Amino acid sequence: MELFEYIDMSRQPVWAYYIAVMLMMAPVVRIFMRAGLRPHFALLLLVPMMGFVLVAAALAFQKWPAAQPLVLKKREKKS
């Protein structure tokens, strides 16, 4: 058996993916809220096959408003 036969999502039932998404929704909403971002971005998880990638990209490429005071404190210490 090849590796891709084990991870081929096209053979998995769709409901199993959405159950996993519902289990991950609350923690992802909390991550977005702690980062100071809108928790609505967690709905990107509902996009099949790409949801987790989209959520990771949303977290990676946006400025986190909650982290701004920390950056300013570090800059003040250097001065």
Distance (Å, whole) CA 37 – CA 59 = 9
> Each residue of 28-50: pLDDT tens digit?
999 999 988 899 999 999 988 88
* Per-residue model confidence (pLDDT) at position 16: 82
Burial of 17 (0-12, 13-18, 19+ CB in 10 A): middle
Helix (H) or strand (E) holding 78: helix 68-78
Output the pTM of the full model: 0.68
Closest-CA residue to 58 (of 78, 39, 30, 75): 39
* Per-residue model confidence (pLDDT) at position 64: 83
Say whether pLDDT at 7 is over 90: no
